[in-house]
Structure 1
Amino acid sequence: MILTGYLHQQLAAAGVTRAFGVPGYFVMPVWHAFRKDPQIILARHEGGAAFMADGYARATGNLGVVLTTSGPGVTNTATGVASAYQDSVPMLVISGQGSPTTFGRGVFQESFLLDRSASPAALLAPITKTALEIVAPENAAFMIDTAITLALSGRRGPVHLSIPLDQQQLDIPVPPSRSASPPTVGDVPAAPCVLAAAELLRSARRPLILAGWGSMLARAQPEIARLSTQLGAVVVTSTKAVSCLPRDHPMLLGHFGPGQRSDIAQAVSSYQPDVVLVVGASLSRYYANPLAAVLENAATIRIDISAEQVGFRMRADIGIVGDAREAVSALTSAIAAGGTDTAAEPDCSAAELVSAFQKRAERAALRQKPESHGMPSVAGTISRLSRMLPPDAVVIPDAGNHWLDTISLCRAGRTGGVQLNCGVGAMGWAIGASVGMAMAAGQEGAAGRGPLTVCVTGDGSMLMHGAELTVAAEHELNLLVVVFNNRSHGRVRLGQRLDFDREPMGTDIPSIDFAQWMSAMGLRTFRIDHADQVDEVLAAALATRGTVGVEVLCHPDEVPACLRGWIED
């Protein structure tokens, strides 16, 4: 079998339906093999292709695939690959390469460690689980299978596979056992640890569940919801896992980290948890500092896919190594099997605490004014948009002040309804990722088909990666793009003023008509110039089928809700 055919076959067997990329000479044989599922979606920039693959992987739980050539093709993917690496998103980056017989000879886009050229493996190795290169046909099938399996197993993440041009066109031996889909690899939680954790949870009066991004990656949301109901346990999340449970879940208190409510730490402290179950959370300083005292005073159980992570940053009383979904399901079964005769009565005030907490947020969100500094308000617009969205919508905010307001004010109607990039935090990530997520939902057919995907972005991000919206328009995706135009890098501008006590400098962006630009790219567009247009324009945009853009003119000095005590208003 030709190498390119085997690669395509194995990705199809793994359930991959789309690959994202930009063509080039050294990847042409691979490129031409992707004529049907999985088929290639042509991105406008390799960085955008990596963002799309990231979004596709998050939406499907499967592998995101990037196809690119050597030289700038590889270097342009770096930010997207690093984002996937930090957020443990499974991705396979397949790059072409000059033939080994030319290494060091100075061919076009030389990719070898000689004469100031750059090796793709050396570039991507620090931001991938591993970087592999096929150099012999006898080993090609093994290398392809290994790359796919490594990306999808254990703590998932990106893997780089470099394929020299001459190898792409060779016949390779394929053992019969290699023709099937790569095996699913996962850890089974150790029974003694699960039983000990179940007994500890059964005896708890005020259990607390801290759900992290690992619980989302494992698709453990239904299991966490069942366990919370079973125990009467309050649930808090990390920032990345902000939509682990839907907004109407009766035990979801909120999240810790950027965009958190100013009163959540006090609420958890007043609850006084006696047992804390940490599911797939890194406990990074980014969000866990306010929980330090709670974790010190309570018995702790920690679940993580990685053994070293179980004891990282905090020593747990019980550690369970394994897939979060399997582990939480095993815990639920073990608690049920233990009966109720020795279990402590749950604290009945927990549900009342959560209910009051949620209602307070709803009232505060309703009070967000549509106007700030005489212009449409970012917080007010996002608050109104959140209330108007269908419950199955998925919202993806970009880096910027609108990122904070989305986390604070956009409460997801479904699990996974708010998707965040918290690792690298790249501007423009949400644009490509939203295209990938919308594509994964099967929305590339008739316009307006499938659940709505919403990209919340800004003028700075648009100038970096806005061209990727032409991909959404080309495939008639059901995508709403809301662009907040404050003619500034607003998050940096605000940081200069609040954190460094300096006058803003080097952050202004020329006034650009993004509605006109999006229209030129094939989107159906709207603009909000005045606060009294917010409700009407958003309603019209949501009623329009296909790929839709809304430009919102806002003021660069507006402060996000979470930085101005919005919950006390």
Structure 2
Amino acid sequence: MQLCDALAHVLQVLNVRSVFGVSGANIEPFHDAVFRLGADSLSNVFAKTESGAAFMADGYARTSGGLGVCCATSGGGMMNLAAGVAESQASGIPVLAIIGQVATEWEGAGGFQDSSGRGGSINGVELWRSMTQYAVRLQAADEFWQQLNLCLTLSLNGNKGATALLLPRDVQMMDVGAMPDWFFKRLARGFIDIPAVNTELTECVSTLFALLSACQNPLVVIGDAAVRDRAYADICEFLKSADIPVAVTLADICAYDRRERNFVGVIGACGEPSLHRYIEEQVDLVVVIGNNLDQMTQGPLTSILQTKPSVLIHHALKSVGPRLNVALTIHAPLVETFQLINDFHARQPLRFHGIKKLHRDKHPQIRLAAGDGLSNSMAIAAINPHLPDNISLVLDAGNCAATAAHYLEPPPGARSSIALGMGGMGYGVASAVGVQLAQQAKESRSQPAVVFCGDGAFLMNGVEVHTAVELHLPIIWLVFNNQGHGMCRSRQELLFENRVTCSNFSAPVNISKLGEGLGLAADQVAQASSTTEIEAFLQAYFLQPEPGPALLELNIDVDEIPPFAPLIDIWTQQQSEEDAPVITA
């Protein structure tokens, strides 16, 4: 069996349904193997950019709970994968990058796009090892099964993350023999020894219950990693039974059912002032599940959290914020951890009765100038009532993402995703393709994905709308067009005395025309300059029996301070110093 055929077969067994990539000379043997052997279970997805392909693989992995796969050819193709693969690594998302390379005979000998590290060429392995769990360049057929198993094990087990397999063109066509009997047995078992298991884990859970029993007002913060874990149902069972107040984060604003009586809101950089006050004034223990209390999660709470004892429960603990008062860490698989927690809870029930009389409030909508036009917050208010249950919400970056995270009220069964690792602008525009393909693999009919992105983000990866058009995927892009990079502009206005540079477009951008040029049907593209126009388009879109790709360009002509703690803090301080009038919507 040729290596490229064997690789396609392994992906099929792992239930990977889509390989996201752009073809080229040095990846064509693998693309051909997927085409020949995939049948109805594995297919190539022709992305329009390699960066888009990597973001799609990330979105696919987040939604499927399994492995995402992207591929590219050598040279620029390889380099363009970097941002998306780095996002997967930083966020603990299992992604395998398959990267074609120049044939071995040309390594170090002037080969086109050689990255062997020989003869003064770029060292591709060192490059990829700096941004993945593991990267390897195969030189011989007898390395294949062992190295592929190691890549998959490091992506799918323990801390999870990205791995990279660099394959010279001639090596892809070498005979690697039949799959060894040990391959999937070893993969299932994994190579990684995770601390805090068995006796030690029991002691940790016992300590957790002692801490919970001794406190009066605990708060659980549930992160995106918990939602993606097989333990999620067990986690929710415990939280509902114990009635511990639960907050979610920007990383997944849908991480806990908002209909539950113990849901209390969103914390962090885009969090709710009422919840932050409650934490400061009453909470005496913070239990964090599936989140590392990073900068975006802490937001304005950094100094407050230093005074609160915290418990961190995560299978992939990474860096922890400075000077946090960590009373206990449980670094273990969440499945085993919460099975044990629920066993303890059955024998030693805990009950905290949620939070009484916590009125959830939001930041005021602060306009930088008077006007009757459309603002980000007005647009979100118009969008909210039209979102159907069980929808996928994909947040990109910038002011519109911050506004959506703060003011959206996700409907029951909604899922959300955002790139908070290394992805940045343009992530959500492309990743929605992977999100929808994974969702369709799980459900015969899935609700559309809704992308919240700015015009700047759309210009970075908007060509991937064409990929969705080709696949007729139900995705609607809501593009908040303020003719520039809004958050950068807001920051420069506040911090640099209104000296705004590299943030405003000097020539206007028409996103809806771009959408039409990328193949969207004329009746599935529109502009909206009022809440009435937004509501009319969304109502018509979601009433379609089988909605496909669509785009609504929102003409945002009223600037606001986004509900993003760092900017609000700066603006508030400047207002107090200047005693200037405040314009609120």
Both proteins in one fold, TM over 0.5: yes
- Structure 1 residues 86, 298: closer, same or farther in 2, change over 3 A? same
Alignment-derived partner of residue 22 in structure 1: 22
Alignment of 1:274-353 (within 5 A): 274-288=284-298, 290-292=300-302, 295-306=305-316, 314=324, 316-338=326-348, 340=349, 346=352, 348=353, 350-353=354-357
SS in 2 for 1:172: coil
Alignment-derived partner of residue 158 in structure 2: 154
CA contact under 8 A between 1:394 and 1:452: conserved in structure 2? yes
Q: Which amino acid aligns with 2:372?
A: G
- Structure 1 residues 294, 183: closer, same or farther in 2, change over 3 A? same
CA contact under 8 A between 1:443 and 1:477: conserved in structure 2? no
C-alpha distance in 2, partners of 1:290/1:380? 25
CA contact under 8 A between 2:452 and 2:477: conserved in structure 1? yes
Which of 114, 136, 157 does residue 110 from structure 1 map onto? 114
CA contact under 8 A between 1:129 and 1:158: conserved in structure 2? yes
C-alpha distance in 2, partners of 1:429/1:311? 25
Measure how far apart 1:440 and its partner are.
1.1
- Structure 1 residues 555, 34: closer, same or farther in 2, change over 3 A? same
Alignment-derived partner of residue 234 in structure 2: 223
Q: Which amino acid aligns with 2:509?
A: I
Measure how far apart 1:404 and its partner are.
0.6
Correspondence 1:125 to 2:142: no
Query: Which residues of structure 2 form unaligned runs of 5+?
Result: 573-581
SS in 1 for 2:401: helix
CA contact under 8 A between 2:116 and 2:125: conserved in structure 1? no
Correspondence 1:207 to 2:204: no
Correspondence 1:518 to 2:520: no
CA contact under 8 A between 1:404 and 1:560: conserved in structure 2? yes
Measure how far apart 1:52 and its partner are.
0.5
Alignment-derived partner of residue 249 in structure 1: 260
Alignment-derived partner of residue 556 in structure 2: 554
Correspondence 1:95 to 2:99: yes
May I ask how many residue pairs the two structures share in their alignment?
A: 552
C-alpha distance in 2, partners of 1:236/1:294? 16
C-alpha distance in 1, partners of 2:410/2:333? 25
Q: Percent identity?
A: 25
Measure how far apart 1:63 and its partner are.
0.8
- Structure 1 residues 211, 312: closer, same or farther in 2, change over 3 A? farther
1:178-216 CA-to-partner distances (Å, cap 9, x unmatched) read 464731548556222223323432454322212233323
C-alpha distance in 1, partners of 2:480/2:318? 41
Q: Which amino acid aligns with 2:234?
A: E
1:529-557 CA-to-partner distances (Å, cap 9, x unmatched) read 33442322222233342111111111263
C-alpha distance in 2, partners of 1:323/1:413? 30
Alignment-derived partner of residue 376 in structure 1: 374
Measure how far apart 1:386 and its partner are.
2.1
Measure how far apart 1:2 and its partner are.
1.4
Across the aligned residues of Structure 1 and Structure 2, the Cα RMSD in angstroms comes to: 2.9
Query: Which residues of structure 1 form unaligned runs of 5+?
Result: none
- Structure 1 residues 142, 456: closer, same or farther in 2, change over 3 A? same
CA contact under 8 A between 1:202 and 1:231: conserved in structure 2? no
Q: Which amino acid aligns with 1:452?
A: P
Which of 416, 419, 422 does residue 418 from structure 1 map onto? 416
SS in 2 for 1:488: coil
Which of 405, 429, 436 does residue 431 from structure 1 map onto? 429
- Structure 1 residues 551, 444: closer, same or farther in 2, change over 3 A? farther
Correspondence 1:138 to 2:142: yes
Alignment-derived partner of residue 442 in structure 1: 440
Correspondence 1:234 to 2:232: no
C-alpha distance in 1, partners of 2:63/2:189? 19
C-alpha distance in 1, partners of 2:335/2:291? 13
Q: Which amino acid aligns with 2:469?
A: A
Q: Which amino acid aligns with 1:224?
A: I
Which of 185, 188, 192 does residue 183 from structure 1 map onto? 188
1:468-487 CA-to-partner distances (Å, cap 9, x unmatched) read 01111111111111111111
Measure how far apart 1:253 and its partner are.
1.6
C-alpha distance in 2, partners of 1:136/1:482? 48
1:47-101 CA-to-partner distances (Å, cap 9, x unmatched) read 0000100110111011110111110111011111111111111100001111222
Which of 458, 465, 468 does residue 461 from structure 2 map onto? 465
C-alpha distance in 2, partners of 1:384/1:462? 21
Measure how far apart 1:387 and its partner are.
2.1
Measure how far apart 1:434 and its partner are.
0.7
Alignment-derived partner of residue 490 in structure 2: 494
TM-score normalized with structure 1 length:
0.89
312-321 or 14-23, which moves further after superposition?
312-321
TM-score normalized with structure 2 length:
0.87
Correspondence 1:481 to 2:477: yes
Correspondence 1:455 to 2:457: no
Measure how far apart 1:33 and its partner are.
0.7
Correspondence 1:3 to 2:3: yes
C-alpha distance in 1, partners of 2:441/2:273? 38
SS in 2 for 1:245: coil
Q: Which amino acid aligns with 1:284?
A: D
CA contact under 8 A between 1:141 and 1:173: conserved in structure 2? no
Measure how far apart 1:445 and its partner are.
11
Measure how far apart 1:295 and its partner are.
4.6
CA contact under 8 A between 1:212 and 1:241: conserved in structure 2? yes
SS in 2 for 1:111: coil
- Structure 1 residues 559, 275: closer, same or farther in 2, change over 3 A? closer
Alignment-derived partner of residue 576 in structure 2: none
Measure how far apart 1:315 and its partner are.
5.5
Q: Which amino acid aligns with 1:483?
A: V
- Structure 1 residues 486, 298: closer, same or farther in 2, change over 3 A? closer
C-alpha distance in 2, partners of 1:109/1:299? 53
CA contact under 8 A between 1:93 and 1:158: conserved in structure 2? yes
CA contact under 8 A between 1:237 and 1:256: conserved in structure 2? yes
C-alpha distance in 1, partners of 2:182/2:140? 17
SS in 1 for 2:561: coil
